[in-house]
Amino acid sequence: MNVFLDVILESIVPRTCMSCGRELRYEGHIAGACTICVTGWGVFEPGETTKTLFNERFYGAWCALGFRLGNGASRAMIHKCKYGGEPGRVVELGRWMASRWPAPTGGAVLVPIPVHWRRKLQRGYNQAERFAVGLGEVWAVEVDGGGLVRLAHGESLTGASREGREEALKKTYGIRALDGCEEQDMRPVVLVDDVLTTGATLRACREVYEKRGREVVGAVVLALA
């Protein structure tokens, strides 16, 4: 970021925190939230403790987690990411997270969990994809947004049992065939999503790759529900 430009801009139009309305200084805020509000997010520290917590929902050799999805400021931020029509805010969160966590190694690529094309049309963007772009920028890791696709519009899954949901999710994702032949890229995959709930989505996507003999080494998720 050009800090000098920020100082000039904010002396003309002072920005305020998206959560509490406090005036934002030119530094020390994350994606439009002030440091005091970010303290309330319950930010996870990089390391084994966080990885263990992550692995309870999704096992992967390489995992990174942003913050806890509580009822206050962190929920408001996730809501803004999904429905706020502000893809730039999600990219900023990706950059922030990548500045805190070490980059995945071994030639892995970042694969954002896709949304159904109809949902993407409604919202104008896929928040997981924007998050991955921010991560990829700072880590200098490629974002592969082309292969994995969401085949079904999954609204009906919310009422289903855990088992039913898991079964239905297996049929929800697939790999897009490019010009009649499936992609031959075999680089290891790190899945990227905005919210981790049961881990069923990540598991379903991993299965899609593993059926093709491609390894999923882990995942990056912004918030833990």
Binding site for Zn ion (CB under 5 A): 17, 19-20, 22, 34, 37
Question: Between residues 19 and 201, which has the closer beta carbon with respect to Zn ion?
Answer: 19
How far, in Å, CA of 14 to CA of 20, rounded? Answer: 14
Question: Between residues 29 and 57, which has the closer beta carbon with respect to Zn ion?
Answer: 29
Q: How far is the CB of 34 from Zn ion (least distance, A)?
A: 3
Q: How far is the CB of 13 from Zn ion (least distance, A)?
A: 18
Question: Between residues 10 and 207, which has the closer beta carbon with respect to Zn ion?
Answer: 10
Q: How far is the CB of 19 from Zn ion (least distance, A)?
A: 4
Question: Between residues 22 and 51, which has the closer beta carbon with respect to Zn ion?
Answer: 22
Q: How far is the CB of 22 from Zn ion (least distance, A)?
A: 5
How far, in Å, CA of 11 to CA of 46, rounded? Answer: 35
Question: What is the distance of C-alpha 163 from the center of its chain?
Answer: 24
Question: Between residues 19 and 172, which has the closer beta carbon with respect to Zn ion?
Answer: 19
* Residue at token pair 């996507």: 205
Q: How far is the CB of 33 from Zn ion (least distance, A)?
A: 6
Q: How far is the CB of 28 from Zn ion (least distance, A)?
A: 11
Q: How far is the CB of 36 from Zn ion (least distance, A)?
A: 5
Q: Which residues of 25-52 are buried (b: 16+ CB within 10 A; e: fewer)?
A: ebeebbbbbbeebbebbbbbeeeeebbe
Question: Between residues 80 and 150, which has the closer beta carbon with respect to Zn ion?
Answer: 80
Beta bridge partners of 192: 112, 220
In this structure, the strands spanning 189-196 and 181-182 are unpaired
Question: Between residues 41 and 62, which has the closer beta carbon with respect to Zn ion?
Answer: 41
